[in-house]
Structure 1
Amino acid sequence: MTSPTHTEAPVRWRPHTAVLAFGAFAVGTDGFVVAGLLPSIATSLHVSVAAAGQLVTVFSISYAVLAPVLAALTASWPRRRVLVTALAVFAAGNAITALAPSYDLVLASRVVAAAGAALFTATASATAALLAGDRERGRAISIVMLGVTTALVLGAPLGTLIGGLADWRAAMWLVTALALVAAPAIGLRLPSATGQGNGDLRAFLAPLRNRRIVGLLVTTVVAFTGIYIPYTYVSEVFAPAYAGTSGLAVLLLVYGLSGTVGNLTAGHLADRYGPRRVIVAVTLILAAAFALTPLGRGTLGAAVAIIMIVGFLSFSVTTPQQHLLITLAGPGSGLITSLYQSALYLAVSLSGGAGALALEGWGAAHLPHLAAVLMLAAATLTVANGTRAGQTPRSSDILT
């Protein structure tokens, strides 16, 4: 199968994208499940929970740093080889985590797993967009991201359950097995698609000369720092609304389910109305939802309603942003999506630190207010970035 042209969308791209989504499910499960296993990891490795939490930090930082570097080094490889290699590295990292007898080795293994995860997720999104063509690009990306949201709804709870029934190492073996199932499926089913680039590490600097791409990456950091602050501290934000872990589990389940619907809806809307229009609308509405979030802290029913709205909107940002980045970048979009993943994981790291400072200084009730301010900033940056340098703003610049 030849690579699709810029305007021609191939038929039957959905089955291939579904295979990529399964790989994203494996990667996403790893990213979400570790946080739920921290107490048992800490006990097993004889470290504090805070020290065990550094496994998440190391994974996020490694992901952010390695994503563009690995994308540049593999830019000339066939996409199928990149994806299979990424899952193999990811599986190896998780296998080492499961076998490691010491904290230091577990910490190092998270770097290996992050390398595979970063390379896979960025390449999968770009490959799905390539296979679908211009007209259905948003829907293709949303299907890949469906694997991530499904990991939040199904994979993480399943891994946590297995970790509770057996131990945390069994959960890591589950993640390893998922990757080992996805790799041959992608290797056998994905059509041939050639890479764009010559494997020069300096290539990853080229997109950073485009001010609109840089602006969108900065917007990504701002937006997702705002999105992840309330999510990271959801147990504190909604503490008055629930009693025990069952109430929190309900909130997280609702968040994941509504986020899945939001992700798929955003893909359709981005194809129909243009990604920038969707980003501006969603970030503005999300700012209002965060501003009203403290009103839902009193009862579980109100908290569920707020979480449903926030989850839907939060997962409606990532697909349009990747859609817009790929549109701006053209050829070599795998490199662009890797930079997007770096920005996303930088936001995850910043949200933990900024949220902790705000929690200590202002209290849990005001964390959503900080998130609302950041969403307004993201909307403003998105509109400003739509204006081409040296030109009078036009609606096509701002909204398409």
Structure 2
Amino acid sequence: MTSIKQYSSAREKTTGRLLLLAAGTFVVGTGGFVIAGLLPGIALSLRVPETSASLLITIYALVFAIGTPIISMLTGRVSRTTLMVAGLGLVTVGNILTAVLPTFELAMVARVITGIGAAAFVPAATASAAAIAAPGRKGRAISLVTAGFTAATALGAPIGTAIGALGGWQTALWFVVALGALVVVGTGLLLRRIPLPAAQTIRERFAPLANGRIAITLLTTLLIVAGQYSGYTFFGSVQDRATGGSGTVLALLLFVYGLFATIGNLLAGSLADRLGNRVVLNVAVVVLLVDFLAMPLADGSLWSASILIAVWGLSAWAALLAVQHRVVEIAPGAIAWNSSATFFGIALSGPLGGLAISTAGAHNLTLVAAVVVVLALVVGEVSHRLVVRQARRAAESPAEVDGARPLLAA
């Protein structure tokens, strides 16, 4: 009886620590995603066009994408607790500076600080989740922690946008700061003595990028994210006919997007297991393509916008989950690079959306995004064919090691 109680207590303690890590990724995600809903107010306050203000998202995502592998290499022997507290502390400081600094240039510096903190925290949190999980539960532990990003999209960004509509965009960032400060304290107090991950050489860390199948699959992720986030970055401008300029309605539409993104993420996992990731990816991307082509033709009513946004969130995140499923299938160790590809895509989405607005107008932005989605469909199919070809080679010659001869050879 005593052993059962001890097991139950240990499991509850582990779950609590994992939820704390998920709260950290929620803070990081909300701090990044909420800017899209606040963009009109930020642009007005800092006296720059919205296309320029979107660079606050671009620089954050770019620093995150580049910084993640570099910081992971430089801090391999640093305590995970120290790294997470320092990382989330920098995120919090960066959000404070973004809220108080008076010029766009200084706000960009603040977003660099925020991106560095996020790049330090997220890999450490993921590794910590795996380290404290019970045997056989590492995958569930990691998925719980990364679910913080999904929750940031479904709840954090809409709540922050609603707060911004009521009290100004700086108030929304102060909300994120308050959450971040709480998680920093909790991390320092409750997440101690976490085992360090096994050391990796630089060659081992970058080895996945030399594999043609993995590199092309990561490019698929980048293209899907760049296409769909170009619309998300300028969400307020793209949907202004439906919102009528109301921040509250904008927050509601962001919630619709986030809710169906979560549903798409959950459904795609089980469907990919049953039908294969190729079917899920191709269907989801085609649906996203049709949705983006239809969006400029909609009548601009709240109902039509809600339906199109729901389909957008559902299909885009189902597609991203299908690609992630493929990455895990090919090389589970490359999942961190998929995160970098995701944030490189987010970094590209701002310039892409800005170019679309300047050439075609905000209401036609999704037509330009649709071109990128088509590229993602093509590259995703190339990725699948490379996977199939390698599987056939392995079946014909089991002794052949992956990468022993060029994957892209005819």
The answer to whether the superposition gives a TM-score over 0.5 is: yes
Residue 85 (structure 2) pairs with residue 84 (structure 1): yes
Change in CA separation of 1:340 and 1:119 when aligned onto 2, cut-off 3 Å: farther
Tell me by how many angstroms 1:137 deviates: 5.5
Change in CA separation of 1:393 and 1:306 when aligned onto 2, cut-off 3 Å: farther
2:337 to 321, 325, 339: 339
Deviations 1:149-172 (A, max 9, x none): 322333223333444444443333
Change in CA separation of 1:229 and 1:312 when aligned onto 2, cut-off 3 Å: same
Q: Take 1:243 and 1:19, find their aligned partners in 2: how far apart are those partners?
A: 38
Residue 53 (structure 2) pairs with residue 55 (structure 1): no
CA contact (8 A) 1:280 1:382 kept: no
Q: Take 1:293 and 1:104, find their aligned partners in 2: how far apart are those partners?
A: 33
CA contact (8 A) 2:228 2:369 kept: no
The match for 2:197 is 195
Q: Take 2:322 and 2:224, find their aligned partners in 1: how far apart are those partners?
A: 13
Deviations 1:305-362 (A, max 9, x none): 33223312322344554565456556xx4xx444323211211232333344455259
Identity %: 34
CA contact (8 A) 2:62 2:347 kept: yes
Change in CA separation of 1:357 and 1:162 when aligned onto 2, cut-off 3 Å: closer
CA contact (8 A) 2:242 2:305 kept: yes
| Count of aligned pairs between the two proteins | 378
Tell me by how many angstroms 1:237 deviates: 5.7
With the length of structure 1 as denominator, give the TM-score of the two structures. Answer: 0.78
- For 1:252, give the aligned amino acid: L
> After the TM superposition, which of the residue ranges 353-362 and 102-111 deviates more from structure 2?
353-362
The match for 2:227 is 226
The match for 1:4 is none
- For 1:117, give the aligned amino acid: A
> After the TM superposition, which of the residue ranges 23-32 and 90-99 deviates more from structure 2?
90-99
Q: Take 1:316 and 1:140, find their aligned partners in 2: how far apart are those partners?
A: 21
The match for 2:375 is 374
Q: Take 1:42 and 1:212, find their aligned partners in 2: how far apart are those partners?
A: 41
The match for 1:7 is none
Tell me by how many angstroms 1:18 deviates: 2.0
Matches within 5 A, 1:1-400: 14-129=15-130, 139-190=140-191, 192-197=194-199, 204-234=205-235, 243-245=244-246, 248-267=250-269, 272-273=273-274, 277-278=276-277, 280-295=279-294, 297-298=298-299, 299-319=301-321, 321-322=323-324, 325=327, 328-329=330-331, 333=333, 336-358=334-356, 360=359, 363-364=364-365, 366-367=367-368, 369-387=370-388, 389=390, 391-392=392-393
Q: Take 1:233 and 1:185, find their aligned partners in 2: how far apart are those partners?
A: 34
Q: For structure 1, list consecutive stretches of 5 or more residues without a partner in the other structure.
A: 1-9
Q: Take 2:240 and 2:165, find their aligned partners in 1: how far apart are those partners?
A: 24
Tell me by how many angstroms 1:182 deviates: 1.3
- For 2:315, give the aligned amino acid: L
Q: Take 1:128 and 1:346, find their aligned partners in 2: how far apart are those partners?
A: 24
Q: Take 1:365 and 1:96, find their aligned partners in 2: how far apart are those partners?
A: 33
Q: Take 1:319 and 1:138, find their aligned partners in 2: how far apart are those partners?
A: 15
Q: Take 1:201 and 1:75, find their aligned partners in 2: how far apart are those partners?
A: 11
CA contact (8 A) 2:277 2:326 kept: no
With the length of structure 2 as denominator, give the TM-score of the two structures. Answer: 0.76
Deviations 1:235-282 (A, max 9, x none): 566666664436544432211111122233445556x559xx236513
> In structure 2, the residue corresponding to 1:373 is in which secondary structure?
helix
Q: Take 1:269 and 1:135, find their aligned partners in 2: how far apart are those partners?
A: 22
CA contact (8 A) 2:28 2:118 kept: yes
CA contact (8 A) 1:222 1:377 kept: no
Tell me by how many angstroms 1:203 deviates: 5.6
Query: Greater Rg, structure 1 or structure 2?
Result: 2
